[in-house]
Each structure stands twice: as structure tokens, then as C-alpha cells.
Amino acid sequence: MCGIIGYVGRENSERPLEVAREALARLQYRGYDSAGIVVANELGLSFAKRAGKLAALEEQLAAHPLPLASAAIGHTRWATHGGPTDRNAHPHMSQDGSVAVVHNGILENHALLRQELIEAGVEFQSETDTEVAAHLIARAHAAIGDLAQAMRSVARRLEGAFTLLAVAADNPHLVVGARRTSPLVVGLGEGENFLGSDVAAFIARTDQALELGQDQVVTITPESVTVTDFDGRAVEPRRFTVDWDASAAVKGGFPTFMDKEIHDQPNAVRDTLLGRVSRAGRMQLDELRIDESLLRAVDKIVVIACGTASYAGQVAKYAIEHWCRIPVEVELAHEFRYRDPVVDQQTLVVAISQSGETMDTIMAIRHAREQGAKVVAVVNTMGSTIARESDAALYTHAGPEVAVASTKAFLAQIAATYLLGLYLAEARGTMFPDEVRSVMRELDAVPAKIQRVIDGEAAIRRLASEMKDATSVLFLGRHVGYPVAMEGALKLKELAYIHAEGFAAGELKHGPIALIDQGQPVFVVVPSPRGRDVLHDKVLSNIQEVRARGARTLVVAEEGDRAAAAHADTVFWVPRTPTLLAPLVSVVPLQIFACALASAKGLDVDQPRNLAKSVTVE
Ligand code: F6R
């Protein structure tokens, strides 16, 4: 949550403002309640900030341009403390205007600090927790005369999660950042340097980056990057190359990022699968730095994730249990963290996260590691906290996902967990190498099948426009179709603000069938008739049960499944795919449906109300 950019260059120019505006446009998915930029030059600090989407800030900048400068910091906000107003927008200035600050996270002891500052005569301008940091840093800076040292001394006093960036009026040639738990990465340029809440902030400018660790302070000048811990001891950060293509973060002719990302899905899956089988035909997951003997000793897998990523985990459960014969539990990270979960050295925790910054998941993996479990992260964002804090990271190669609702990252997560399952099955000897290769061949054929579903999107879009006044939609599935049903419902809730529920089809008779009345739309994800016949037949019975009670049945079925079509008001065909791999194709019509229905309602598909892309607070 909250997008952050920091920039410093050699000379006074328009570049700092340009870099900040471009970064905020890329980072909007992290929050869009308000935005602001402050620039620094020899004459001091000048800022602009506005409630609302970035367009409101752009209007203000057009009317009142900011001066040429050598440094800038910028922020796009997802409100926590204080509503989304102009006054609460970042940057926050100290009372004397000497320091400006932007912040991501929550300062848990802000009330106490605020009281202390009020008693010392400070008049607050906003209701935010952040403003205390601006005043504290300015006071420390006035006393010490060094912004980095001031930042360190204040960071030591702050409780909670934070990324803070500060610039000072008396030195426009540096920007200082601090991080505890919230994300911050450094971008390395030629005669300029960057700070970002994630690499999307600067991918158009550089692909060279540094990871910052917990409780570190960084100072960037045009020629240098200095990192220390909160006590001032020097730290050597790890350098990495960002392999995202900057053009992946633009709409490329599609009406929304989500439309584009749905169309990116064949590539996201293909790229995630790429290079995972050695010449000798063995699974190779180079990033997996966990000793094979440890993997062989694992007696339980716990998948932790939130939202859509947790549904990827639910799909993985069916595949990994079948292939590896290890029990797999799937836990919402926030639920896992605050009970007393049974994990130990024999437990393999798999944390799934697109952003790699979801605070609930971060807290859960920390807890799991404290209990002795090994953690493998399945993440999309390089240099992210979850990747760094896990024992191993298996990267999905979906590229930057900008739309708030996850699509291509979801498919890439499912593909990556299949790879993990096959790797474990091979290491543990629960599958023969030729069986593994046969699944890999089926997987390699999936991107073309996803493309075929996308090619048939017109029919789904027509249905979506026709249903734009629906007030409730139900989704049913069994086996791997169950998490697909839940994901279909989540997409519709978050994008179209329609009440939607995903159920295990077998659960219908235990309650949910009472919801069915005349005309109730029900999507049903039908398993392959060639897989386990029982499963297929059971779902057909479920369709008949709801149809008999007046439901309008919208069925996702495998091409040629006449039996399913016979019970459907509308059928969406998906290509033949082995049962365990089928979610990669069967979820696609549901994504397209939600996206098209939200567009038909005139809603903002990429930035649904109240949501932010990475949920960096608990
Ligand atoms: C829904 C969605 C969210 C995320 C969840 C976890 O479309 O995107 O439910 O899946 O917030 O986010 P990550 O994967 O970044 O940990």
C-alpha cells in the first residue's frame, strides 16, 4: 500500500519532477486516495498534493508548476490514519518547512509522539500518523545537522511498520530513506539514483537495483548510495538486476491494465515454466536453495497466502497431495499467524504472493521460521520482502501486474506451485521421471489453450453486458474447480461490486441451495468428463439441482462435453486439459466475465474502490 518514489540527480532540471510523476503513474496500483510530490533545490522545498486520483495532482501541477530541482520525493496514498483529503495527502512538511516526508506503513506509537510534540508547541496540519515523523526528523535535523543521522535517531523511536523518505531544504542533493518491515528498494542510475516502494517505480529508468534489509537507513546522492542500520553501522546491500520489461507496465492499446493482463496470461504461464527441465529431463528449480535431503524429510506442507494467492494455494493442494503424497494445508496468512499453528522442522511452508509485500504473509512466514519450518516463497516481485525473508524463492515470471485485481499472477502462481509439486515428487520418488515429463508436456501445452479461451472472449463479454444489473451471482465447483469458483466470485465482488459467493458444489445441499430462486445466475465449473467420471457426474447433478429450482446456469465445460451443455443455459467451452491442470484454463472465462461486467457498469476496473494492490499493513 502507498507507492513511494525518491530521486536525486546532478543538476537542477525538470527531471526530478518528471521521474516522480512517471513513477506515481506506475505506482498508482498501490493506492489512489491522494498523491503528492515535493521537489528540492537551492531555494528550498516546493510541493503539490491533492486528494483523489493522480489526475487531480496532475491538474494542480499544470496550474501551479513546481520549479526545476535536483531531488524529489513522491507518494500515492492508501489511507490508514486520516481520511483521503488534501491535508492528509503526503508529503508532510515540518512546521518550519525545513523537512518533507512521505511514508508507507503505520506508526503505532504516533498518538504518544503527537502528544509530546503538541506539548512542545508543534501545531499539526493533518490527522495522519506520518506527520509526527516530519516534525521529529526536522527537530533532530536542526539539532544534529545531518539528515541521515536525524532519520536514524527518529527511526529508533518509531514503532510499527514504515518506509519513510525525507528531503531537507538545506541540502537538495540527497534523499534519505528508512525501512522497517514496509518495502523499499534502491535503483542505481548514472549520475542519479532512485528509491522506490517497489521496482516498478524506476524500471523505465534503470534495471540495476539494491535490496534493503530490515531496519536500515539509506542515503542517495547523484553519485553514491550509503546504507547503514539504525545505529549507523555500515551495511552491504545485495545488488540485483530487474528482469521486468518496462513496456509490460503500460496498457499497450488495451482499454484497461486488467484487459491487458488477461491477454498476457499465456506468456505469464509460458515464462514461468521456461527452463525448468534440465537436458537430462530432470526438474530444475535453480532458485530453490533448500537441500534435497531436507525436502525428502518434509512430512507436511503448509501454504500461506491471502486472497487470490490463497486460491492458487488451494489448487496446488490437490496437485501436490496427489503427486507427492504429502498432506498439504492451505491457510490464510492472517489466520495462521494469530493462532498456534503446528509447524516444525519437518514442515515446508510455501508462501504465495504476487507483491512479496503482503504484511499478513510476511508476519506468517516470520512466525513459521521461528518454529523451525523452512519457507519457500512463490513470488512475482524481485527484491521483495517475502522473497528476501524466505529460505528460498521460486519466482513467477508474470511481469509487473498493475491492475489491482490479480489475473496473470494467479495463473503464474498456479504454474509455479505445479513445478514445485513435480520437483518434490521427483526428489521424493513418488512419481517416475517419465510421469513428471508427461505432466510437463501437458503443462507446456497450456499457454496455447489459455489463448484459445481468450480468443473466444466476445461471447463472454456479451453475456457480461447483458447481466450488468445482476445483484447476486453464485459460483460452484468441485475438486480443483472449487478454488476456481471462489476466485470467480472474488473477481466479481472486487471489480463489479456484485454480491458473489463461491461454493464447493457438494456443499449446496447443506445450506446454500436455499439462495436459489427464479433467475438466480449460477456459474458452474464442470470437471473434465475424461478425468474422474464420478466427479463430472456429481457436478452435472448439482447443475440439475439448481436448475430445477429456477437458476440460470452458466457453465464452464470442456469442449465436446455434450452432457454438461444439455443442462446449461449458456456454455463457455474450454480446451481439453488434464483435471489437475484445468484451473489454468477454466478460470479465464470467469476473469473475462468480471472484467467485462465491471466495464459495462462503467466502473474503474484497474482501481476498484477501497482496494490497494499490495496490502502492506496487517
Ligand atoms: C485479488 C487480489 C488479492 C491478492 C492478495 C494477496 O484480485 O489481488 O486478493 O491476491 O491481496 O496479494 P499478494 O499476492 O501480493 O500477496
155-195 residue pLDDT tens: 999 998 899 999 999 999 999 999 998 889 999 999 999 99
CB 308 within 8 A of CB 489: no
**Confidence at residue 247, expressed as pLDDT on a 0 to 100 scale:** 67
Is pLDDT of 408 > 80? yes
Least confident range of 349-353, 400-404, 577-581, 589-593: 400-404
Domain boundary among 402, 427, 451: 451
**Confidence at residue 279, expressed as pLDDT on a 0 to 100 scale:** 76
**Percent residues over pLDDT 70 in the chain:** 99
Report the first-to-last Cα separation within the chain, whole angstroms: 11
Ligand 1 centre distance from Cα of residue 605 (Å) = 15
Give nearest CA residue, ligand 1 atom 7.
Answer: 405
* Average of per-residue pLDDT across 98-117: 94
Question: What cell numbers appear for 593 in the block?
Answer: 466475465
569-581 residue pLDDT tens: 999 999 999 999 9
Structural domains counted in the chain:
3
**Percent residues over pLDDT 90 in the chain:** 82
Domain boundary among 451, 470, 486: 451
* Average of per-residue pLDDT across 403-425: 96
Residues 27 and 105 in one domain: yes
Ligand 1 centre distance from Cα of residue 613 (Å) = 7
Is pLDDT of 533 > 70? no
Ligand 1 centre distance from Cα of residue 66 (Å) = 36
Residue whose CB lies within 8 A of the most ligand 1 atoms, among 314, 331, 354, 382, for a mutation test:
354
Atom of ligand 1 nearest to the CA of 413: 14
Domain boundary among 411, 428, 451: 451
Least confident range of 279-293, 422-436, 550-564: 279-293
In this structure, is residue 613 part of a structural domain?
A: no
Give alpha helix (H) positions in 80-197. Answer: 110-119, 130-144, 147-157
Average pLDDT over the chain reads 94
Per-residue pLDDT band for 33 (boundaries 50, 70, 90) equals confident
Least confident range of 38-52, 89-103, 196-210, 526-540: 526-540
In this structure, is residue 213 part of a structural domain?
A: yes
Residue 615 beta carbon below 6 angstroms from any ligand 1 atom: yes
Residue 361 beta carbon below 6 angstroms from any ligand 1 atom: yes
Residue 486 beta carbon below 6 angstroms from any ligand 1 atom: no
* Average of per-residue pLDDT across 344-353: 96
189-247 residue pLDDT tens: 999 999 999 888 998 999 999 999 889 999 999 999 999 999 999 999 989 998 777 66
Atom of ligand 1 nearest to the CA of 410: 10
In this structure, is residue 84 part of a structural domain?
A: yes
Per-residue pLDDT band for 534 (boundaries 50, 70, 90) equals confident
Is pLDDT of 287 > 80? no
**Confidence at residue 532, expressed as pLDDT on a 0 to 100 scale:** 64
Is pLDDT of 616 > 80? no
In this structure, is residue 617 part of a structural domain?
A: no
Is pLDDT of 248 > 80? no
| Reported pTM | 0.83
Residue whose CB lies within 8 A of the most ligand 1 atoms, among 306, 353, 365, for a mutation test:
306
- Hey, what's the torsion of the CAs at 320, 322, 326, 327, to 10 degrees? 90
Atom of ligand 1 nearest to the CA of 309: 10
Q: Using alpha carbons only, how large is the chain's radius of gyration in Å? A: 25
What DSSP character marks residue 180?
E
Residue 616 beta carbon below 6 angstroms from any ligand 1 atom: no
**Confidence at residue 383, expressed as pLDDT on a 0 to 100 scale:** 81
Residue 385 beta carbon below 6 angstroms from any ligand 1 atom: no
Tell me the catalytic residues. Answer: 2, 613
Ligand 1 centre distance from Cα of residue 307 (Å) = 5
Distance CA 525, CA 479 (A): 10
In this structure, is residue 489 part of a structural domain?
A: yes
Q: Which residue segment(s) compose the domain that 167 sits in?
A: 3-245
**Confidence at residue 242, expressed as pLDDT on a 0 to 100 scale:** 87
Distance CA 557, CA 540 (A): 11
Residues 65 and 173 in one domain: yes
Q: Are strands 185-188 and 208-211 parallel, antiparallel or unpaired?
A: antiparallel
Q: At what angle do helices 433-444 and 408-428 cross, to 10 degrees?
A: 170
**Confidence at residue 497, expressed as pLDDT on a 0 to 100 scale:** 97
CATH of the domain at 340: 3.40.50.10490
Residue 313 beta carbon below 6 angstroms from any ligand 1 atom: no
CATH of the domain at 239: 3.60.20.10
Give alpha helix (H) positions in 221-305. Answer: 257-263, 265-273, 292-297
Residue 590 beta carbon below 6 angstroms from any ligand 1 atom: no
In this structure, is residue 611 part of a structural domain?
A: no
Looking at beta carbons, which pairs linking 461-467 to residues 24 or more positions away fall under 8 Å?
461/592, 461/596, 463/554, 463/570, 463/593, 464/592, 464/593, 464/594, 464/596, 464/597, 464/599, 464/600, 465/596, 465/597, 465/600, 467/521, 467/597
Residues 239 and 281 in one domain: no
Ligand 1 centre distance from Cα of residue 160 (Å) = 22
Residues 520 and 413 in one domain: no
Those residues with Cβ within 8 angstroms of residue 12's Cβ, 6 or more apart along the chain or in another chain: 41, 42, 68, 69, 70
Residues 447 and 484 in one domain: no
Counting every residue written for the chain, the total comes to: 618
In this structure, is residue 132 part of a structural domain?
A: yes
Per-residue pLDDT band for 611 (boundaries 50, 70, 90) equals confident
